[in-house]
């Protein structure tokens, strides 16, 4: 085995479960708290897996998630590791920076115009 060290973001990166870092959880829970206070969201779940970590929010416990925020480190150099996915499975926003991706929730206030 070679003694050369490998870049942690390269193809030889150590494989392990994917989960959120403290800084990322702080950003996610700030958005969650704001929208709970507004009465839009009521519950959330966190899931860590082999290749993806997911933060899902719900209008009521037991319902399908309204939105999912996914972290997929394998896509960091391509499309970006962060994605916000809507209830129907459509990708609402994708990028490399979590704060930029979470801005999609700033514009989620829709008004019906007659």
pLDDT digit string, tens, across residues 16-66 = 788 999 999 999 999 999 999 988 899 999 999 999 999 999 998 778 999
Q: How far is CA 92 from CA 2, 5, 37, 105, in A?
A: 43, 38, 23, 10
Element (H, E) at 100: helix 98-102
Q: For the chain, give every domain's residue range.
A: 22-105
Q: What are phi and psi of 15, to 5 degrees?
A: -90, 140
Instruction: State the pLDDT at residue 107.
Output: 64
User: With a threshold of 0.85, does the pTM exceed it?
Assistant: no
**How much of the chain, in percent, has pLDDT values that exceed 70?**
80
pLDDT band at 79 (very low <50, low <70, confident <90, very high): confident
Instruction: State the pLDDT at residue 5.
Output: 40
CA angle at residue 95 from 75 to 20, to 5 degrees? 70
């Amino acid at each position: 085995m070679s003694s050369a060290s490998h870049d942690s973001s390269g193809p030889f990166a150590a494989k392990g479960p994917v989960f959120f870092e403290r800084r990322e959880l702080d950003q996610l829970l700030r958005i969650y708290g704001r929208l709970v206070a507004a009465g839009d969201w009521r519950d959330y779940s966190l899931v860590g897996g082999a290749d993806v970590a997911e933060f899902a929010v719900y209008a009521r416990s037991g319902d399908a998630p309204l939105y999912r925020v996914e972290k997929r480190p394998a896509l960091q150099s391509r499309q970006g590791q962060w994605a916000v996915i809507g209830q129907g499975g459509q990708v609402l926003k994708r990028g490399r920076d979590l704060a930029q991706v979470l801005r999609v929730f700033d514009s989620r206030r829709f008004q019906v115009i007659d």
